[in-house]
Amino acid sequence: MSGRVRALRGFPDIGPADTPAWLALEAAVQQVLLRYGYAQVRMPVLEATELFARSVGEATDIVEKEMFSFVDRDKNAMSLRPEGTASAVRLGIDGGLLRNAQSRLWYTGPMFRHERPQAGRYRQFHQVGVENFGTAGALADIEVIAIARDLLQAAGVLGAVTLEINTLGSATARAAYRDQLQQWLRAHADALDEDSRQRIERNPLRVLDSKNPQTQAALADAPRLADSLDEESRAHYAAVLEGLAALDIAWVENPRLVRGLDYYNHCVFEWTTQQLGAQGTVLAGGRYDGLVEQLGGGPVPACGFAMGCERVLLLQQALDCVPQAAPVDVYVCHEGGQGRLQALRLAQTLRQAGWQVLVDGGDGRLKGQIKRAATARARIVSKDEHADFTLLDAQAPAALSEHLQALCPAGAATPS
Ligand code: ATP
Ligand code: MG
């Protein structure tokens, strides 16, 4: 067999032109989460299929249509994780982190969903997830939303996103509303699109989320969740909004926001943008008080969110604020022979002082090397054997010029 083996559809490579933006995002994320005192956890990418069926929900798009599931050689049913919350809860339960404790965890890594690949939608994509366990009160919701705001700000995209928020109410209020809505939907099934009709029996709340304009119009008269909220649900929601106002976080209430996963209750939210077409949700989350118990842990209240890294990076592109690789500080040229060793020594001294240094790999003529230095966007070219150098970039830090001047006294510390 000959010919190239190609990457799988929807599994994009991340090449050297893209990694500077990824590294910058990851560094910003680490810094923000350190400030909030969240501990990083790392879960496996493969889990028992049952974990997702029992948490995300049998009747959700993710479990019904999107999981990469298979039976391994030992006949165990397993799935590549489509999201991180279920795994993080499992990790928390297994590690005894959730018993009578306030636990603040975060993770990042690839997730896998069998979706139709398009801009902003891939089969392998990356999330940053934040989970707050053990706090029933609104402080936890406010904290995770504030983290989300800080992450989007650190990524430079806050100006292009809107916080949409809603409450699903307590588990009891949500269940009562679910029945009420279901009855209404059965009576008005004719006015709905095919997908939505399918959802009436299996996942009626999801109908509210429909992107179909005809369905949205029909839903105008549907019973509203807000009308069936109990006192506890109203108080929790009001406390969250009060906290957001205190932190100057603006929001838009979206009574149709329900989220696609089964485990949410009370406050749910999404940060959305107009800049990415249909893939406009950049970050999404909410409270999921029942999930830990559902997965075999105790009654532990929890809330959190996941941010889609690719969508944040696409938004940076749309806003023209993609972080660039740092320029090379010094490019050392040499003409072979003894010059090679001198070049290595000079590079080592400079690197130990913290500068980024490239040494030309060839023994060729200086002219070619200097061209390569320019391609590498080097700030300074240093020519070893004459102990001289030329400053290419007037913006080079003064400390670097001074350092080079000391090492190569014959150099020219002014741009040529
Ligand atoms: P969508 O409505 O866009 O399908 P979702 O509700 O399925 O999103 P979540 O499960 O809440 O998404 O995941 C959180 C975030 O992860 C999303 O807001 C999005 O930014 C990102 N995300 C989800 N699916 C994909 C995907 N297939 N490719 C890239 N990013 C994704
Ligand atoms: Mg989806």
How does pLDDT run across 33-92, given as a tens digit for each residue?
Answer: 999 999 999 999 999 999 999 988 887 888 889 999 999 999 999 999 999 999 999 999
Nearest CA to ligand 1 atom 21: 308
Q: Which ligand 1 atom lies nearest to the CA of residue 311? A: 20
More confident residue, 137 or 366: 137
- Write down the pLDDT at residue 380: 63
Which residues does ligand 1 sit against, CB inside 6 Å? Answer: 83, 113, 115, 120-122, 125, 127, 260, 279, 281-284, 306, 308, 310-311
Average pLDDT over residues 224-232: 88
- The pLDDT value given to residue 381: 65
Is the confidence at residue 137, as pLDDT, over 90?
Answer: yes
**pLDDT-derived band of residue 334, with 50, 70 and 90 as boundaries?**
confident
Residue 176 pLDDT level (bands cut at 50, 70, 90): confident
Higher pLDDT, 381 or 263: 263
Q: What's the chain's average pLDDT? A: 90
Which has the higher per-residue pLDDT, 112 or 385?
112
Listed residue (21, 19, 36) closest to 106, CA to CA: 36
Q: Whose CA is nearest to atom 29 of ligand 1?
A: 121
155 alpha carbon to ligand 2 midpoint, in Å? 23
Strands, DSSP E only, in 21-161?
A: 39-40, 46-48, 69-71, 77-80, 103-112, 124-133
Q: Residue 92: what pLDDT? A: 98
Q: For residue 207, report the distance from its CA to the centre of ligand 2, in Å.
A: 14
Could you tell me which residue, 415 or 398, shows the higher pLDDT? 398
What is the average per-residue pLDDT within 238-243?
Answer: 98
Between CA 334 and CA 388 the distance in angstroms is: 11
pLDDT at residue number 387: 46
Q: Which atom of ligand 1 is nearest to the CA of 122?
A: 28
Residue 44 contacts residue 17 (beta carbons within 8 Å): no
pLDDT, residue 211, reads 81
| Tokens encoding 123 | 């089969």
Least confident of 40-54, 152-166, 337-351: 337-351
3-state class (DSSP) for residue 386: coil
Residue 388's closest CA among 374, 371, 375, 407? 407
- Measuring from atom 20 of ligand 1, which residue has the nearest CA? 308
The better pLDDT of the pair 415, 304 is held by 304
- Which of 305, 300, 303 shows the shortest CA–CA distance to 134? 300
Q: Which atom of ligand 1 is nearest to the CA of 307?
A: 15
Q: What is the pLDDT of residue 260?
A: 65
For the record, the structure tokens of 337 come out as 């022979």
> If you search the block for the tokens 């003064």, which residue do you land on?
398
Would you state the pLDDT for residue 345? Answer: 85
Q: What is the pLDDT of residue 312?
A: 98
Neighbours of 58 (CB within 10 A): 12
| Residue environment code for 71-83, b if the CB has 16+ CB neighbours within 10 A, otherwise e | eeeeeeebbbbbb
DSSP bridge pairs for 71 = 77
Provide the sign of the torsion angle of the four alpha carbons 225, 228, 233, 239, taken in this order: positive
Residue 118 pLDDT grade (very low, low, confident, very high; cuts 50, 70, 90): very high
Tell me, what's the pLDDT at 227? 86
Q: Which residue has the higher pLDDT, 128 or 416?
A: 128
Which of the four pLDDT bands, split at 50, 70 and 90, describes residue 416? Answer: very low
- 367-411 residue pLDDT tens: 888 788 878 777 666 654 454 555 566 567 788 878 877 777 665
